[in-house]
Amino acid sequence: MSDDVMISLDHVSKRYRGQKVPAVENVSMTIHRGEIVVLVGPSGCGKTTTMKMINRLIEPSSGRITLDGADVTSLNPTELRRRIGYVIQQGGLFPHMSVATNIGMVPRMLGWDRRRIDARVDELLDLVGLEPGQFRNRLPQQLSGGQQQRVGVARALAADPPVMLMDEPFGATDPLTREHLQNEFLRLQEKLQKTIVFVTHDFDEAIKMGSRIAVLGERSRIRQFDTPERLLAAPADETVAQFIGAGASLKQLNLRRVGSIAYDEAHLVTSQESPAAVLRHLDESGDWAVLTVDGERRPLRWVGPRDLRPERDTLDGVGIPAPTVEPRATLRDALDAMLTCGCGAAVVVDDAGRYRGVLGIDRLMRAITEMRETERSRDRGVAEASYYRPPMPRTLAAPAQRGGAR
């Protein structure tokens, strides 16, 4: 077994008393340091049970699970769990404790002193994008679902565990928040390089989050364990193909990030600009619209020739709201944004929401064509390589041609 292996499951089964069929039967897999392995499968397939055996919330009936080389059954379960971050749906925050107390729980159990805990709590709140001064003393129910989820992640990271188990962590949030949390989490992971086991029933989420994906069938039987790319290109059998569902090629849009393709430029104006000047610009340049931005260069609205009233002085409230995506969003997220506004373009913004460029539908189409070509050539080329892909942020791994968007 190489040093690279963080978690290994070796012929693990779980049989509950009084039940004829085991809940998990004979599962073996190795999980490498720094990768996100997603367990995905229909509900009731035993994926959560499989995950919970790693931190011994559920004891395996047979087989061996090792964590960093040590058999987990040889370790004290509560101490083992303090070394493994655990995130569940909605964060599982204790409703009677403040955000700071929730996050500081594990460090407190590990006997850190107060000052160190307080400093760590603030550091983590910053890390997950919540202003410490504002959120430290709030109660969980004074937070939105997405904020609760962030605090849940912060709590799991508190004692800096090398391994995290995440059970449908973004499941209870609305699609927009979920997408945002996913992007944010991927950004964190680029920095933290944790070994993560991630359970979900959402295949799109699996493709987006996973370094490798294990598609599980009944009794947690592994139907295919592969990189997202391979999984989409070559499903192992009928069932996997069915689970991937229709539109596998559309799902490949989940594989590439907005940041990995070149942006276009839009003509930026402030809302104070006069409609007449904008009209002149549109005439001269042939652009379909200009983008209004605020003082911080945050995009506001698309303004086309038909939105302009020459008799007015400013562009305040004129045009259609411009949808934005982050560089970490997938091309599919970008397509969604474009379709929602019906304008065929999404504005790429940085973490602070400032303008970085524009992703047009034609760029997107070109990227898709490109993807399909590389797909074809790769299928011809590498047939029998090891499909384990070393953990690397996908934004960097993808063929880089990040256009100088400014």
Binding site for other proteins (CB under 8 A): 55, 57, 78-83, 86, 88-90, 92-98, 105-106, 109, 139-148, 155-156, 165, 172
Least distance from C-beta 313 to other proteins, angstroms? 34
Determine how many CB atoms are found less than 10 A away from the CB of residue 385.
10
Least distance from C-beta 41 to other proteins, angstroms? 20
Residue 352 vs residues 129, 178, 266, 297: alpha-carbon distances, Å: 11, 18, 19, 10
Nearer to other proteins, 144 or 249 (CB): 144
- Do 292 and 315 touch, CB atoms closer than 8 A? yes
Least distance from C-beta 330 to other proteins, angstroms? 25
Nearer to other proteins, 197 or 335 (CB): 197
Least distance from C-beta 341 to other proteins, angstroms? 23
Least distance from C-beta 110 to other proteins, angstroms? 9
Nearer to other proteins, 93 or 128 (CB): 93
Report the C-alpha gap between 246 and 328 in whole angstroms.
25
Nearer to other proteins, 26 or 177 (CB): 177
Least distance from C-beta 95 to other proteins, angstroms? 3
Report the C-alpha gap between 220 and 239 in whole angstroms.
14
- Do 12 and 63 touch, CB atoms closer than 8 A? yes
Residue 353 zone, left/alpha/beta (φ > 0; ψ -120 to 50; rest): left
Q: In what order do the strands lie in the sheet with 70-71?
A: 24-32, 5-14, 62-67, 70-71
Nearer to other proteins, 139 or 188 (CB): 139
Question: Quick one: tokens of 161?
Answer: 């565990």
Nearer to other proteins, 140 or 391 (CB): 140
- Do 367 and 256 touch, CB atoms closer than 8 A? yes
CA end-to-end span of the chain, whole Å? 47
Nearer to other proteins, 75 or 392 (CB): 75
User: What are residue 47's phi and psi, to 5 degrees?
Assistant: -70, -40
Report the C-alpha gap between 211 and 397 in whole angstroms.
11
Least distance from C-beta 323 to other proteins, angstroms? 20
Question: Quick one: tokens of 138?
Answer: 């709030």
- Three-class DSSP category at 201: coil
Count of CA atoms in the C-beta half-sphere (13 A) of 338: 19
Least distance from C-beta 139 to other proteins, angstroms? 5
Nearer to other proteins, 23 or 338 (CB): 23
Determine how many CB atoms are found less than 10 A away from the CB of residue 350.
13
